[in-house]
């Protein structure tokens, strides 16, 4: 996989140094933190190969924007400053955090020019870590190791690739880094080098202004390469060190939807490996998507093609059937979720059985030993211990007590066209099939509703309530015949 390390194809006028930082720089309130490093995230790339109206760094990986992954990794360092260099207002508008400074790069003349835009927001006394908004899998542990390697000089995150095409090569002399040469500017001998530049580096901030002013765009792409400061550092006797990531995937960037899909699977494979390492059984580790945080107890089993969004917690011995989608759900121990269930913003008690084909909507809470069966939808309702709704029912804005049986085809009519109303069903109620409860209505404890009842008034406790038209049979009646 190759990665283009420059940020624009717009050609600036030729000259000895990049244009100065623009005055049009946006800044939110910046929070001072503990760690002695600035972080600059370059996120102004146009992303033309994405063929999208959405800025590249806002495309989602594991349910959140690429840039959000990088910001999260940066925050783990507790930096003095985080500055994002952006090119489109949609990027800045997507993040409302007060600990981020925003520097606009417009026009875009390369990575060196991009870093120049961030200079007004950097503390000169601490080094600056340069990250990329389209490299989402970088880990904080790797960044800490890179910062430690920099000392008082420059440190570059490098990686050895079997196929280094498209990357800047690390040119060493006597074992020390001498310079970085881009693919289009490399000689055949330099193109044979397998150690490449990831683009991530730590530089002494006090030196940046003078180094950036000396960059030239005399290269194949006529851009100001940030990587050229390595040669400037060597020329001044500033030490240049290197560090390597735990995995090559930490350095891979996104330039196309194909590369985004590949990184998604890399990320999901890492999550699957962590889950199995903690004792979770996955029917197929290649067919799971975690788009948030998934916490699992002991002996949890997850079948294929399940999607977990937001924060999901699965208790001990929970089983999730195939093709379920769970978002912001807590499921207690021993519960079994059958295949093809959709669940969102809900709490599921212990030893329940849900599905298949059930939909549990926001505001639902099931107590212990509840059964919610096939093609049952529950919304903004509580269902007490031991109660059952096993077939083809809609339960909305309802409070159901303990040991209630909800027959097939039952509907709580909770919406009058303008407002929602509550239904209360007390303990030990039996509701016959094809019953409609027109809210607001209450069913007393121990009551029975006959099949086909339309309940418009409260049903008294311990009585049978039936609402039906009288059954009539008409002798001699004949079915209509279609006219010729």
Q: 3-state DSSP call for residue 19?
A: coil
Q: In sequence order, what DSSP letters do the residues of 177-244 get, joined into one string?
A: EEEEE-GGG--HHHHT--EEEEEEEEE-HHHHHHHHHT----STT----GGGHHHHHHHTT--EEEE-
Q: Of 35, 270, 391, 421, which residue is the catalytic one?
A: 391
Residue 62 backbone zone (phi > 0: left; psi -120 to 50: alpha; other: beta): left
CA distances from 301 to 208, 349, 368 (A): 53, 17, 20
For residue 258, the SS3 value is: helix
Q: Tell me the CB-side half-sphere exposure of residue 268, using CA atoms within 13 A.
A: 23
Place of tokens 């788009």: 291
* 391 catalytic per annotation: yes
Residue 350's contacts (CB-CB under 8 Å, 6 or more residues apart) are: 315, 332, 333, 334, 335, 368, 369
Pairing of strands 364-366, 342-348: parallel
What interhelical angle do 140-150 and 66-75 show, nearest 10? 50
Residues in the chain: 484
Cβ proximity of 161 and 167 under 8 Å: yes
Distances (CA, A) of 192 to 87, 164, 174, 195, 225: 34, 8, 17, 9, 21
Q: In whole angstroms, what is the distance from residue 329 CA to residue 293 CA?
A: 11
Q: How many CB atoms lie within 10 A of CB 113?
A: 29
Active-site positions? 391
């Amino acid at each position: 996989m190759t990665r283009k390390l420059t940020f624009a194809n717009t050609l600036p006028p030729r000259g000895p140094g990049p244009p100065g930082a623009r005055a049009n720089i946006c800044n939110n309130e910046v929070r001072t933190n503990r760690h002695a490093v600035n972080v600059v995230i370059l996120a102004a790339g146009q992303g033309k190969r994405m063929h999208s109206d959405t800025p590249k760094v806002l495309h989602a990986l594991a349910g959140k924007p690429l840039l959000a992954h990088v910001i999260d990794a940066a925050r783990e360092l507790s930096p003095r400053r985080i500055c994002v260099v952006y090119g489109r207002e949609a990027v800045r508008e997507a993040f409302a955090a007060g600990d981020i400074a925003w520097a606009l790069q417009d026009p875009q003349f390369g990575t060196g020019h991009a870093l120049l835009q961030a200079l007004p927001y950097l503390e000169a006394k601490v080094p600056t870590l340069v990250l990329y908004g389209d490299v989402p899998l970088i880990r904080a542990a790797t960044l800490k190791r890179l910062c430690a390697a920099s000392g008082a000089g420059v440190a570059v995150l490098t990686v050895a690739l079997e196929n280094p095409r498209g990357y800047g090569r690390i040119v060493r002399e006597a074992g020390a880094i001498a310079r970085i040469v881009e693919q289009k500017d490399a000689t055949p001998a330099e193109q044979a080098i397998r150690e490449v530049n990831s683009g991530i580096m730590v530089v002494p901030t006090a030196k940046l202004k003078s180094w950036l002013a000396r960059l030239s765009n005399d290269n194949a792409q006529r851009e100001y390469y940030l990587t050229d400061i390595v040669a400037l550092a060597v020329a001044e006797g500033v030490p240049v060190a290197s560090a390597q990531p735990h995995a090559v995937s930490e350095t891979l960037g996104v330039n196309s939807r194909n590369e985004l899909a590949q990184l998604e699977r890399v990320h999901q494979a890492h999550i699957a490996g962590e889950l199995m390492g903690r004792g979770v059984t996955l029917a197929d580790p290649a067919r799971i998507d975690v788009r948030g945080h998934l916490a699992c107890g002991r002996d949890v089993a997850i079948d294929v093609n399940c999607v977990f969004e937001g924060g999901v917690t699965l208790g001990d011995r929970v089983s999730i059937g195939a093709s379920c989608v769970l978002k912001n759900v807590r499921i207690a121990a021993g519960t079994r979720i059958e295949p093809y269930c959709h669940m969102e913003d809900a709490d599921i008690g212990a030893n329940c059985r849900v599905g298949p084909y059930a939909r549990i909507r926001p505001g639902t809470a099931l107590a212990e030993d509840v059964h919610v069966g096939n093609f049952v939808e529950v919304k903004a309702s509580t269902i007490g211990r031991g109660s059952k709704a096993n077939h083809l029912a809609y339960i909305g804005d309802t409070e159901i007590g303990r040991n209630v049986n909800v027959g097939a085809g039952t509907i709580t009519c909770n919406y009058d066209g303008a407002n929602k109303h509550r239904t209360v069903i007390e303990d030990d109620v039996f509701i016959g099939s094809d019953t409609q409860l027109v809210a607001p209505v209450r069913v007393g404890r121990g009551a029975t509703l006959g099949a086909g009842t339309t309940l418009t008034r409260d049903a008294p406790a311990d009585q049978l309530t039936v609402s039906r038209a009288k059954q009539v049979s008409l002798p001699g009646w004949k079915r209509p015949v279609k006219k010729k």
